[in-house]
Structure 1
Amino acid sequence: MTADPTYRGFALDAETALALLQWQAELGVDEPCLDAAVDRYALPDRVETAAAAPAAARPAPAPQSDVGADHAALAERLAGGATTLAELAAAQESFEPIELRKGARNFCFADGRAGARVMVIGEAPGEEEDMQGRPFVGRAGQLLDRMFAAIGLARDAVDAERGLYITNVLPWRPPGNRRPEPAEIALMLPFLRRHVELAQPEMLVLMGNTPCIAGLNRQGILKLRGQWVEAFGLPALPMTHPAYLLRTPLAKREAWGDLLSVAARLDGTA
C-alpha cells in the first residue's frame, strides 16, 4: 500500500514541501520535531547495537581534515591576491567551500567610509542585513549608528577623520541567526585579516564574542569589554553587541564608557 502524501488533509507534492520548508526556515526553525513528544528512554537500544556491529559494517568517516586544509589554503590564496577592497569582495563572494553562501540571499561585505580611522567588526548578517546586502542595518545597526554619532562618527561621513567603516566576521547570514561555527570563522579569517589590511583603520572595535574569537582567539565579551587589546596588529576595543544592549538596556552605561574610550584615543587624550 502506498502512503497518501498529505499534510493536514492537503496534498503535499515536492514543490509544496519545499515551500513549507523554506517558510519555516524564514521563521527561524532550525531543528525538526514531531507532532507528539517522544519518550527517548523507551526507544530500542540502537546505539549499543550499532556499536557492537563489526567495524567493516560501519561507514568510515570522511577525511574532513584534508578537505578543510585545502579550503583554508584556497581562502589564504584568494585573500592574499586581493590588492583592493573591491578585489577582496569579489574574491570572498566567489569562495564556494563555505556552505552559508548557499542559503543566504545576499553577500554582505562592508558599509561606511573606507579609510576611516575606526573599523567596527561584528558577527554576521541578520535577516534585515541579508535582505539589503549591508551589515548593521536592522535595529541593532540603527542603535550602533546612534552610539557612534554620539562621539561624532558616522558611516556616511565624507571625511575619513569622522568616518566609520563596518564589516562582519561572516558576510553571509547563518540559518536562523545562529552563532557562527568555529570552522566558518576559521575559513573567513584570511579574508577578514586582509580586509583590515586594505581598509587601513587606526583602531578596531570588536562587537561581540565572534569578532573576539576571530581577532583574539578569546571569548567572554562581558569580561573582555572595555579593555584595549591588540587584534590584527592594531589597537582593538571589545564592546558588547548592540543587539545585547537592546535586550539589556542597563548595559548601555558601560557601552557609553567604551565609546568615550574610543573618542579619547582618537583625540590623543587616552
Structure 2
Amino acid sequence: MIPEPAPTVRELLAFYLEAGVDCTLAEEPIDRLAEIDAPPPSPRAAPPAEAPRPVAAPAVMRGEAAPAPDVAIASAREAARTAPTLEALRELMQNFEGCALKHTATRLVFADGNPQARIMFVGEAPGRDEDIEGLPFVGRSGKLLDLMLGAIGLNRTTAYIANVIPWRPPGNRTPTPQETQICLPFIQRQIELVNPDVLVTLGNPSTQTLLSTREGIMRTRGRWFDYDTGQRVIRALPTFHPAYLLRSPAYKRLAWQDLRAIAKVLTQGAV
C-alpha cells in the first residue's frame, strides 16, 4: 500500500480552521513533545529547603487576574440590576471584567434586531462569524434563522436576537457552567428591558439556562413555558437551534411546527 502524502502546512491550517481552531491562547507556541522528551532532573543532590512561596492567581490573558466565580457572578448581578436601558447595559457589559471569555473574544456580541419587537430569540453563544462582525447569528446558522423568520413573516426589523453568552468561547468550545452563570444576569436583564410578548429559546443550552429545566430539547421543544421577569410573565417556547438543524435537517419539520405555533400566538395576540 502506498502511504498517503503528509499534509502541507496550508492543508493543516485549513483543517484547523474548519474544526473551529482559529485563535491562539499564547503568544508563543509550546512544544509539548519536547516537554515529554526532556530528561528528568538529576537526583544526586537535593536542594536546600526553602520557605514556601506564595502561589500567584491564574491570569486571564493581558495580565488580568480572574476573580473568583462567586465574586464575578455577584458583580454581574449587581451591574445588570443597575442598567436602566439597553444602551446602558451594553456599556456595562463592555466594561465588565469578570468573565474570562471577554479577553479571548474579538468583541462583545450584544444583540441584533428591533428592541421594540414583540418577539425575542435567544441562542447560546457567538461563533467565529459573529465574533468578527459583532452581531448574533450572521454565519450559516444565521442565514437559516433568517429563513425561519421569513417563513412566518418576520425579519430582523420585527424581531430581537441575542445570546446567553455575549462573548465567543475560544475555538467555539462549549461555555462552562461558571461562564454561563456569570453571563446569565446580563441576558436576564436584556430580556426584562426588551420585554417581549414571546421569548424563543434556541437549542438546549439556552432553554435549560433560561427556563430552569434539566429536560433535553427533544422533550421541551414545542411546549409553552412561563418566563417570569419579576415584572410580568412572558410566554416562552423552546425550539431547535439553527446550527442543529443544519446538522440534522430531518428535524426541520418539527421546527416548522414550532414556528407555526409562534406565528399563531403573535397573530392572535394570545400572550
Q: Give the structure-1-normalised TM-score.
A: 0.74
**2:123 maps to 1:122:** yes
Contact 1:225-1:239 within 8 A present in 2 as well: yes
Structure 2: which amino acid aligns with 1:70? Answer: V
| Pair 100,146 (structure 1): closer, same or farther in 2 beyond 3 Å | same
Contact 1:111-1:167 within 8 A present in 2 as well: yes
Deviation of residue 179 (structure 1)?
1.3
Q: Match for residue 191 of structure 1? A: 186
Structure 2: which amino acid aligns with 1:238? Answer: P
SS of 2:160's equivalent in the other structure is strand
Number of equivalenced pairs? 220
Which of 208, 217, 226 aligns to 2:212? It is: 217
SS of 2:68's equivalent in the other structure is helix
Separation in structure 2 between the aligned mates of residue 34 and residue 208 of structure 1, nearest angstrom: 37
Separation in structure 1 between the aligned mates of residue 94 and residue 262 of structure 2, nearest angstrom: 31
Q: Give the structure-2-normalised TM-score.
A: 0.74
CA-atom RMSD in angstroms: 2.9
Structure 1: which amino acid aligns with 2:186? Answer: F
Q: Match for residue 17 of structure 1? A: none
Structure 2: which amino acid aligns with 1:254? Answer: L
Q: Match for residue 81 of structure 2? A: 80
**CA deviation string 1:63-108 (max 9, x = no partner):** xxx9323222211111111111000001012110100010101110
Separation in structure 2 between the aligned mates of residue 89 and residue 99 of structure 1, nearest angstrom: 17
Q: Which runs of 5+ in 2 are unaligned?
A: 1-15, 37-51, 58-66
SS of 1:137's equivalent in the other structure is coil
Structure 1: which amino acid aligns with 2:69? Answer: G
Contact 2:75-2:98 within 8 A present in 1 as well: no
SS of 2:168's equivalent in the other structure is coil
Contact 1:28-1:177 within 8 A present in 2 as well: no
Q: Alignment identity in percent?
A: 44
Structure 2: which amino acid aligns with 1:239? Answer: T
Structure 1: which amino acid aligns with 2:202? Answer: M
Q: Match for residue 4 of structure 1? A: none
Separation in structure 1 between the aligned mates of residue 218 and residue 31 of structure 2, nearest angstrom: 34
Which structure dedicates a bigger proportion of its chain to helix? 1
Consecutive aligned runs of 4 or more in structure 1 exceeding 6 Å deviation: 22-25
Contact 1:174-1:180 within 8 A present in 2 as well: yes
Q: Match for residue 97 of structure 2? A: 96
